Chain A
């Protein structure tokens, strides 16, 4: 059954001269979703938003908004609004005039504009600042004006380009929650661009992870974090330890032979076939560390190289012979007399639950070329 999408991108590619900013991007964004585009700097997030808004034209591919192909429709006739990274508030207009701008263009009656401006300002808690100029507002207040100015037009889709990028950490956190609850209240589809993976994880219904202009993985926050499908995603979202090796058969089932020194057991139903080369990723917080008690320890043993206190957690870098450094994180709240803090130089045993091993395809030759 064909569903209706608020925004649909089909094989969208954008070249700037010889630079490929976006390549074969296909996205379907459902009505009312909080949808994030997440990726490192320069991966084409802004370009994607600008194509949806109508400031850039795709070199190839189709963009549909509410089912309609928007090719050739100028930005001022698209029912989408954008919150710019640096807000782009009109410096020569008051807060009120800024917010009223969109309705004025639509020739809405003056009393109706006044009523809706009041409503919009109340929604973002700016009542009382109507007469101020943008330069007389704090960063957070400017951000709210930009939001109100866009939302007052009741767009089909609201595009946000790193809207919290200019705010300090604390304000950022507060605004994240506010934005999210605002989105639930108004029910408008948000397409949210960010390179902050934590922000994307906490706010989004759906995340599109982008890398070098291409879509890397699509999914909910839990899906992209718990089941990354590529090494890039496992590395970019959260931190991972990677082990490369070949799948072989052993008495207990399938294992991965890493550098011929160590065998890592694979979870059941991993889908791996003997002879395949794969990468196993393990999140640092899934790695358990235990002081070595017996004289002849079995399994994975390493020496703590350093420990870093991170507030809620402590990060240990453990040197393992032949494997390099494995990163492990422990919740500080779990530290007690039974599981004391580990000191540098201590010999520890490393282990993790079988299902914590994430199986990723071995990156091909092409990806090596890209890295080099």
Chain B
């Protein structure tokens, strides 16, 4: 029933309608709550279990044998694990760096081109994001093999960068859209060159989006499995790929410990992003303009 109709009913009738509506809500609402609670449990219980069992002092994954942290030590003493961790960190940081630079450049360029070219690139950007990851992974693998690029860390980084550049571009463009363009004109007017204007006005105002894009790229890359798995070569195993290969010998407390570490890393990056963006909102500068 429309709100207007309720308004027009006499007061008593209106109250009856409202009460009936409230009655319906009181039946539906508990079910909705239960449903969301179950959904969250379904999502988070497995993660919780993995983390709890990372501290389990028993070789058997299913039996609780007391609290310990020695699986973390064991994991970090394994040279192949440490190597894959190093690979992951390298891939994540290179990817974030390149994707941020390319994404920022693309966003800035896209506001200067004509509507047709912009539509074309917009389509490409969204296409990248909605294409299933496994398709991108396959396509990249076939491409690298055909062109004859040896698979390794560079191919992993390249594949990640393609994906993340789209993400950064979208984030920066959203911020650009909300930016007052006369600020750049004011800067030109006061004698700043295009580069000076970019450095002193445009970039500082875009920084929140750029930092967010950088951090999102790191978290994406650090825990990405599919892309890395397809285009990795000998010696370029990343941590998620390493965990996957260990799982073939069964779930061990060490894989639990590694999963817990990945989660901790990703969460801390996300919190850092949140914190920095909130600070920026309060007027604290991430970069000093000097």
Q: Enumerate chain A interface residues (CB-CB to B < 8 A).
A: 53-55, 74-77, 80-82, 84, 86, 88-93, 97, 101-102, 105-106, 133, 149-150, 153
Contacts and interface: CB of A to CB of B under 8 A. Distances in A.
A76 B186 contact: no
B182 A133 contact: no
Nearest to B201: A90
A92 B180 CA distance: 13
B143 to A, nearest CB: 42
Given A88-B182, A89-B186, A101-B187, 8 more contacts: A54-B188, A76-B188, A82-B186, A84-B186, A88-B183, A97-B289, A101-B200, A105-B196
Nearest to A92: B204
B48 to A, nearest CB: 42
Nearest 6 CB-CB pairings of A with B? A88-B186, A105-B191, A102-B190, A75-B188, A88-B182, A105-B192
Specify which of B186, B189, B193, B205 lies most central, judged by the most chain A CB atoms within 10 Å of its CB: B189
22 contacts: A53-B189, A55-B185, A55-B188, A75-B188, A76-B188, A76-B190, A80-B189, A81-B190, A82-B185, A88-B180, A88-B183, A90-B187, A91-B205, A92-B204, A92-B289, A97-B289, A101-B190, A101-B192, A105-B191, A106-B191, A149-B190, A150-B190
A75 B197 CA distance: 12
Interface of B: 180, 182-183, 185-193, 196, 200-201, 204-205, 283, 285, 289
Contacts of A102: 190-191
Contacts of B189: 53, 75-76, 80-82, 150
Contacts of B180: 86, 88
A87 to B, nearest CB: 8
A82 B200 CA distance: 19
Nearest to B185: A55
Contacts, number: 62
A188 to B, nearest CB: 15
B118 to A, nearest CB: 18
Contact of B191 (A84, A90, A91, A153): A153
B175 to A, nearest CB: 13
Contact of B285 (A53, A84, A92): A92
Nearest to B186: A88
B289 A76 contact: no
A149 B289 CA distance: 17
A205 to B, nearest CB: 24
Contact of B188 (A74, A86, A133, A149): A74
A49 to B, nearest CB: 11
Nearest to A152: B190
Given A102-B190, A102-B191, A133-B283, A88 B185 contact: yes
Contacts of B192: 76, 101, 105
B182 A84 contact: yes
Given A101-B190, A102-B190, A153-B191, A75 B185 contact: yes
Contacts of A54: 188
B188 A92 contact: no
A92 B205 contact: yes
Contacts of B185: 55, 75, 82, 84, 88
